[in-house]
Amino acid sequence: MFHSYLACLFYNVFMYSGYLHNQYDVIVVGGGHAGCEAVLACAKLGLKVLLATLNVENIALQPCNPAVGGPAKSTLVREIDALGGVMGEVTDATYLQLKTLNSSKGPAVRALRAQSDKAEYSRYMRNLLENNENVFIKQCCITELKVENGEIVGAVDEFGAEYSARAVVLTTGTSLEGRIFVGLRSFSAGRLGEKAAIGLSDSLHKLGIETKKLKTGTPARVDKRTIDYAKMIIQPGDEELNFFSFKPNRPIRKTYPCYLTKTNEETHKIIRENLDKSPMYQGLIQGVGPRYCPSIEDKVVRFASNPSHHIFIEPEGLGTYETYIQGFSTSLPYDVQVRMIRSLPGLEKAHIIKPAYAVEYDYVPAIQTTHSLMSKKIKGLFFGGQINGTSGYEEAAAQGLIAGINAFNYINGSEMLELSRSSSYTGTLIDDLVTKDIQDPYRMLTSRSEYRLLLRQDNADERLTPIGHKLGLIDDEQFFRFEEKQRLIKEETKRLETVKIPANEETNKILAKYGEHLERGMRASELLKRPNIDYKIIQELDSQTKAIQIPRDVYEQIEVIIKYEGYIKRQEDQVNNAGKLEKFKIPDDIDYSKINHISSETKDKLSKIRPKDLAQASRIGGIKPADISVLMVLLDKHRI
C-alpha cells in the first residue's frame, strides 16, 4: 500500500515536472568548454537543463594543449569568473603549474597561464554539473532541431528520442561532420577517440542556416618515461601564485615544470621532404587552419629562414605518462611524425602514445547570429564556442556563458546581455564574430582590442562583477568581497596622494637599490609613476604605508591605475567618442537597397550583417567612413 502510494507520488512529481516527457527548459548540445558554461549558467538561474553530449567521459575535455590562459585568454577567464562562470574555479582547482607571462611588460599584456591536469579538470567540471539538481546529462548525438513558426521547440537524437525545450544552445566544437587526417589517411571523427556528429549540419541547412568548413590540428602525445629531460631546458612555474578565480580558499598544490627543446635542420629536412604527403598541401582539407597556431610544417615553410622553432614539453596530468609536445602540431603521416619527433633533442627514443592529426569540421559563420549569440533566423536557438568559428577553450567558454545567460533571458523575456567592446574581451570577441566575416579560426589576441589598456586581467572583476551579481550568477558574499576590494583600491590610491616621500639620505639609500634617486621630496603617488618603483618600494620608504596590510591583487591594481593614468584616461575618452556612433541605432527593418550614395557592395554587406548601430556598421570590413556619413545623415533625419 505504502509502496504504491510512493510510486504514485513519484509518478505525479515526474509527470508534473515533465521529465518523463523529455521536457526541459533548455537543451545544450555539447559538453565542451562552451557547453559546460552554458549549462551551469542556465541551471544556476533555475532552469532545467539537458546536456546532450557525444561521450560523457569527455566532458570539458582539453583535446589540444592542457593549458588555460595566456595572453588575452587569461583576461577572458577572469571575465568569465566575474560574470559567474566556472572556468577560473576549475582551473584553480586542477593546475599543475601557474605562471604569469610578460610580468616585466605593460599591464595590458600581462597574462596568467595554467598548465592543467587534464583528467582532473574534466572530472571537476563533471562533478559541478552532476551536483547541480537542475542538470541532466545524456550521452547521445543530437541529429535534428525542431522548429515551429520560426521558434525552436526541441531536438531529436540519433536514437529517435525527442526532447522539448524553449531554447537550444549548440556548442558542438570540432564534431559537426568532423573528419580526422593523418597524412593521406582520413576517417570520420570529431576528435581522436570520439565519433563525429553526423546529421545536425543537414538539419541546420534545412532551416536555412549556412555552415562552412574550418580545420585545426594537434601534436602527438609521447610517453614521459621515454623522454630525456636532461637534454632540455627546465621551465618552472611561479613560486608566488596568482589565481584566475575571485573565489576564496583556492587550493595550494604542488607544481610541476615544463621543458623546452628546439627543432633543428634534421627536423626541417624531414618535413620538407614529406610535404607532398600532407593532406593540406594535397588539397584534401578545404578548411582554413588557425593562423596564430600553425602546424610545424606551416612554420617551416612560411619561416624558411628560421633554423629552429621552440617546442615545449608539457605534462598532461599526474595520473598519466602522456606528455604534450607544444608547437609541434602536424598532419603529416604517422611514420614521418615518428622521425620528426625523434629528431628533437631529448626525444630520440620517444614512444608515441597518440599521433598528431588535423581535423576538419563544420562551423556556423557567426554573422548569422546577433550579439546575444541567438540565431537571426530561429528564435531561441543559440550558438557558442568553436561552432562560431573560434579556436580555444577560453574563447569557447566565454561565448558559452553568454549564450547560456541569453537562453535564460530569452525564456524569461528579459533584456539580452550584449557586452560592448569597451566593457570586455568577451564583448570584443563576440562583436568581431558577428560583424566580420571570419575566414580562419578566430583566436583572442590583445591586439584585437582598441581598448586593451582598459581591458586587463587585473580589472575584469571591476568591469563585470556588478553584471554577474545583477544576473544572479554572483552571490552576495562574493559581491561583498568584491565591493570591499574596490573600496580598498579607491581609498589607498587616494591616500598615496597624501603621503610625502622626503628626498633625504635614508630615502636615497633605499632608492639606490632600484637605480633611482630623489632630488626633491614628492608624493608617493608621483614616485610610483616611475617605471622602477612599485608599491612594495613605497612600503620600504614609508612606515605608514608599510603598516597597511593590503592584498597583492589590490596593490597591483593600484600600481596600474597610478602608473598608466594618462593612457587610461586617453582610452576612456576614445570609449566616449565611440559611444557617439553607438547612439545611432539602425532600425531592424531598414531596406539598404533603397539608400542612395552607397555602393552595392556596401548595401550587400549591410543587408547580410544587419548591424544594430553605426558603431557596429563602421567595424564591418570594407565599409568606408563615407558610407557611415551617409547613414548618419539619414538616421539623423529619420528619412529611412
Binding-site ranges for ligand FAD (CB under 6 A) = 29-35, 52-55, 58, 63-64, 141-142, 171-175, 190-191, 194, 197, 200, 216-218, 290, 293, 359, 385-386, 391-393, 396
Rounded Cα gap, residues 68 and 98, in angstroms: 10
Q: How many helices (H) and strands (E) does the chain have?
A: 22, 23
CB-wise, 397 or 489, nearer to ligand FAD?
397
Shortest reach from residue 34's CB to ligand FAD, in Å: 4
Residue with C-alpha cell 522548429?
Answer: 147
Nearer to ligand FAD, 293 or 499 (CB): 293
Single-letter code of the amino acid located at 213: K
Sheet with 67-69: list strands edge to edge.
67-69, 111-116, 95-101
Residue with Cβ nearer ligand FAD (174 or 493): 174
User: Minimum CB separation from ligand FAD for residue 439, in Å?
Assistant: 17
Smallest distance from ligand FAD to CB 510, Å: 45
Which residue lies nearer to ligand FAD by CB, 181 or 555? 181
Q: What does the alpha-carbon distance between residue 198 and residue 516 come to, in Å, rounded to a whole number?
A: 65
Helical spans, DSSP H, in 94-222: 118-130, 200-206
How distant is the alpha carbon of residue 72 from its chain centre? Answer: 9
Question: Nearer Cβ to ligand FAD, position 333 or 385?
Answer: 385
Q: 25-59: buried (b, 16+ CB within 10 Å) or exposed (e) per residue?
A: bbbbbbbbbbbbbbbbbbbbbebbbbbbbbeeebb
The minimum distance between CB 155 and ligand FAD, in angstroms, equals: 9
Cβ closest to ligand FAD, residue 216 vs residue 571: 216
| Minimum separation from the CB atom of position 159 to ligand FAD (A) | 12
Cβ proximity to ligand FAD: between 165 and 561 the closer is 165
> Between β-strands 221-223 and 142-148, what pairing exists: parallel, antiparallel or unpaired?
unpaired
Closest approach of ligand FAD to the CB of residue 53, in Å:
4
CB of 237 to ligand FAD, least distance (A): 20
Which of 142/270 has CB closer to ligand FAD?
142
Given the DSSP bridges, would you call strands 142-148 and 151-157 parallel, antiparallel or unpaired?
antiparallel
Residue 415 CA from chain centroid, whole number: 24
- The beta strand positions in 240-309, using DSSP E, are 258-262
Torsion of CA 446, 452, 453, 459, to 10 degrees: -90
Q: How many CB atoms lie within 10 A of CB 369?
A: 24
Residue 498 parent element (H or E): none
Reduced to 3 states, what is the DSSP secondary structure of residue 269? Answer: helix
Task: Report the SS3 class of residue 515.
Answer: coil
By beta-carbon proximity to ligand FAD, the closer residue of 113 and 485 is 113
| Rounded Cα distance, 48 and 27, in Å | 9
Per the DSSP assignment, residues forming a β-bridge with 155 are 145, 163
**Whole-number minimum distance, CB 68 to ligand FAD, in Å?**
10
| Closer Cβ to ligand FAD, 402 or 634, answer by number | 402
Phi first, then psi: what are they for 99, rounded to 5°?
Answer: -150, 135
56 or 518, CB closer to ligand FAD? 56
Nearest distance from residue 369's CB to ligand FAD, in Å? 14
Q: How far apart are CA 441 and CA 215, in angstroms?
A: 8
- Please tell me the distance from the alpha carbon of residue 570 to that of residue 453, in angstroms, as a whole number: 10
325 vs 329: CA distance, rounded Å: 8
Least separation in angstroms between CB 629 and ligand FAD:
39
